[in-house]
Structure 1
Amino acid sequence: MLDELQSGNQQMIRDINVSNVLNVLRVQDAVSRVELSHALGLGKSTITVIINALMSCGAVEEMGAQQSSIGRKPRSLRMNSNWKYVIAVRLDISQVHVGIINLKGQIIYDKKIAKPLRGYSWEDILRELVPLVRTICLDAKIDWEHDVLGVSLALPGVINTSTVSISRLSKWPEFPIASWLSETLGKAVAVENDANALCLGERMKYTPANLDDMLVMLVEDGIGAGIIANGMMVKGGSLGAGQIGHMKVSDDGMLCSCGQTGCLETFVSNSAVKTNFVARLSPEAAEEIAGKIGTPLDQIDAQIIARLAMQGVPEALGVMDEVGFYMGRAITTVVNILNPAGIVIGGPLFEEAEHLMLERVWKMIRAETAPVLWSNLQLRVLRDKTKTMLIGVASQILDRAFRVRHDGSPDTMEVSLVSMVGF
């Protein structure tokens, strides 16, 4: 029994050492064996044994010699970022976007497929997804069995580590997505709310700026937010944190899907913007606008309305004023409660009319919060939101893979790079 305990402890120590080396290489572009030894407090012989094992399995590559003023120049090491991959998927109402993400969190291949999804059962949606992720690997010449660590999904809704409770995509709630996919694919699976995934991806992109307190808002058909406070993702007691679209910003307004009135979503979502804009048009203006854009008004969208605002169309500018007012009202509440260091907003209105929208939001923030709360605030518009979301949701698998052991949901497979080293 004592021998087994000692053997187990030795294996645990070896695993921890390998994990620590991998995590240094994950964030450093180049590092020598000596630097690893100093950084981790490990003997040079231990580092040599670990690096040899990592190089043997293809996880680490040796580069050219580093600059040195005296003695023999040490050779640099770097992680082979394309040793393993995560398949990241964003499911939305009308399309599926799939990306292959390497160990450094870089997208090496991605593909967007038009696919109406609303109204289908989760099982129907996932059955369509299974052959798709395998086909993507074939297209990118990635070995599904050997090279893929797992699959991560980003989708709208209230989500725990394995189950979707509420989502705009499907009327069938409480479906065990993670376990169903994991059993079907034979891979580790992670599921995350799309706004949370966006927040994680945005934070990864701007490290080492290291925004430990930030909010990322996604303004599309629905309104969601990902929140990081003190470096940790805020999930909420019932996993519903970030449902900012249902923040009450008015005493009246249209009926929201949640059954209430006055919700932010009823004023600033894509459909609300379209309804607001069309309602402002006289018959003559409607005919003129339709001719100008070459599109029937029933096919107009938030992106087109934002472009019209940039061209000075009064009705579109009126919509921008209203959206800016209500977005500003919601954001000032967040600023007063959380005091984030950064707020990032994504969606067609903000992407197409960045200056107009940020100007209106800033006006509300400055008017309704104390200067100490906004004087250092970074407020900007999100770019490449889908790719950022893919990187963010892939991090859910990558972070697990770089640990010594998986300590997440018990109903999906374990994934560990350490176990693949054979050390």
Structure 2
Amino acid sequence: MDQNELMKSFLDLEDKEEEIVEAWALFIAVQKVFRDAEAGIISKRERDNVQRAFIKHMRKNKLVMQDEEDKLKAHEVAIYKEGGAKNELKPLSIFDLWLIADFKDVCAAYVADDLNSVEGVSDMMIKFLRDPSVDGRMKERLIEKDMGKGEKLLNTVIDNIPTDVNAHLLLVELYDRAERYVDAEAEYKRFLSETDDEVVWANYGHFLEKRERYEDSLDAFKNSLAHCERAGKEEYRGFLDAMKDCITRVERMKNLEGEAALKAREYQEAEWMIEDIREFAENRFEKELAKAEEEYKDERDLEAIMLEDAFDFINWFVFNRKLGDDKTPGMLYAEENGLSSDLMGRIEGLGNPVAGNFEVVGVDHAAFKLLVKDRATETEYTLMGNVPELIEGQTFVGNIYPWADFYLTGGGLKVQDEESSQDINKE
């Protein structure tokens, strides 16, 4: 298969006019020469010559290019005939373009009818997956582009090296996204029967926790913790503390019953969904996110968005700031995932947080539940969150976010020190 045929097959361009196929080939060449010129490999003149050839071809054939600025998804670009029907647009992933530009052997294996006929495919994939210089999103895209082919590629690696953690992580992620939970668990068990890996034990613990299998989840987190403690390396310190937090959280969930258990589970599922929505927004709207950051700083007269402001900013971007189609990223997520009208209403409500200076007036950490009072209005709110450091009488400032019949922390609270709390209590 020559280079042009490989590009057409990998990018699914077989049914496209030759001038559009040639435009994509030139566009890929432009991306490469800009990178090479920046690295000093070629001159700016050489770079400009390639760019001019692309522009000339586009004009001669009356072709138009669109990207995120034209309401395509982030990391998508499209080329079409001027005056053509926009509903016939076939956007391509920028990661697919980089894959065909830099990893032709991997792409050739991907489109092969029989993987076994590709010489050295396992070693090739292992090298690709382990290369730290390759953007992780390119690796994910290769696997998710066609899940059937992606699964075969990963299993080819695993058949040769059963303990390859890169292939394992991508495979369980693929199964999880496809809601193939039985296959995901089988892969976790297979990998952990081969080797003891603290990260995989932790991932397995989270997987089981989401299935409400708290006893099994506890065992997985404890295995991860034990591995860290045996290793005794200082670099494990943060991870070790995270595992202790996971164990404490799951133990509390396991011991809850009745309405308290249902409410705590509702809170957890809300937090997981919000985390998914944030990830969706950050991946989908990179350029909008950069614009929003400047808007946020200007509106609040900030020189920079500091760590303590990060959650408020991302929540504002996801649930409050509308895009060009008058929808927030959160609502787009809800629509694309077919969420119920009830959940859509809750997500929309996250755009209207309650801001204030709050005092903790009641705690039930076992049930992830706090009662807080707005010191200005005396209004009390039920707040759900995993914030064991908060004690009765302590104060914090910031936003709390409505969800069903309780409120969420939104990811971070600006807890005031004891002296500040005492000063407020004297007022």
TM value normalised by structure 1: 0.24
Q: Which structure has the larger Rg?
A: 2
Structure scoring higher RCO (CA < 8 A, sep ≥ 6) equals 1
TM value normalised by structure 2: 0.24
| Higher fraction of strand | 1
